[in-house]
């Protein structure tokens, strides 16, 4: 499984990587640290013309340059990207933000916990779930850049 992790806090990105390693989750992780990079990666622009489509995106809500909510909106309105599951990650458990994410078609919302083992267990469950789902194939890796 190819996972795109978009997290602007290096320590939290490393914590996520360590949680995946501890659970021995078989995956490839591409880690980006802001919303602008994420959109360029997903749209195969700039440095990311050879990017491959992720199977799952973990997207921090509070990002530099372009906020996670805007990245989510861009993903879900793009016909080539909207089928990719996006799990929002936040340090906050605010009902309004959670509702906004689901209204924007997020596939999940995880609250970062202070408990490493609990966080690792959450990631493990989410990834196992999405590994079992039959998702549509996309043309991300096969379509010509800029094709509709």
Residues 34-48: tens digit of each pLDDT: 999 999 999 999 999
Architecture field, domain 2-130 = 3-Layer(aba) Sandwich (3.40)
Chain mean position to CA 111: 14
pTM score: 0.87
Chain mean position to CA 123: 12
| Those residues with Cβ within 8 angstroms of residue 14's Cβ, 6 or more apart along the chain or in another chain | none
Band of residue 91 on the pLDDT scale cut at 50, 70, 90? confident
Overall average pLDDT of the 74-102 stretch: 93
Band of residue 119 on the pLDDT scale cut at 50, 70, 90? confident
Residues 15-26: tens digit of each pLDDT: 888 888 887 877
The pLDDT of residue 1: 85
| Domains in the chain: boundaries | 2-130
What string of H, E and C letters represents the secondary structure of 6-56? ECCCHHHHHHHHHHHHHCCCCCEEEEECCHHHHHHHHCCCHHHCCCCCCCE
Instruction: Reply yes or no on whether the pLDDT at 120 is more than 90.
Output: no
Query: Looking at beta carbons, which pairs linking 77-81 to residues 24 or more positions away fall under 8 Å?
Result: 78/42, 78/43, 79/148, 80/138, 80/139, 80/140, 80/143, 81/42, 81/43, 81/138, 81/140
The pLDDT of residue 9: 87
């Amino acid at each position: 499984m190819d996972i795109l992790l978009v997290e602007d806090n290096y320590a939290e990105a490393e914590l996520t990587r360590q949680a995946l390693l501890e659970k021995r989750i078989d995956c490839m992780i591409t880690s980006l640290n802001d919303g602008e990079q994420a959109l360029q990666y997903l749209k195969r622009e700039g440095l990311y013309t050879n990017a491959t489509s992720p199977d799952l995106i973990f997207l921090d809500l509070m990002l530099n340059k372009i906020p996670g909510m805007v990245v989510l909106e861009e993903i879900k309105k793009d016909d080539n990207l909207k089928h990719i599951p996006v799990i929002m990650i936040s340090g906050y458990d605010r009902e309004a933000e959670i509702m906004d994410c689901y209204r924007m078609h997020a596939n999940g919302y995880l609250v970062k916990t202070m408990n490493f083992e609990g966080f690792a267990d959450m990631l493990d469950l989410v990834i196992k779930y999405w590994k079992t789902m039959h998702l549509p194939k996309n043309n991300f890796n096969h379509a010509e850049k800029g094709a509709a």
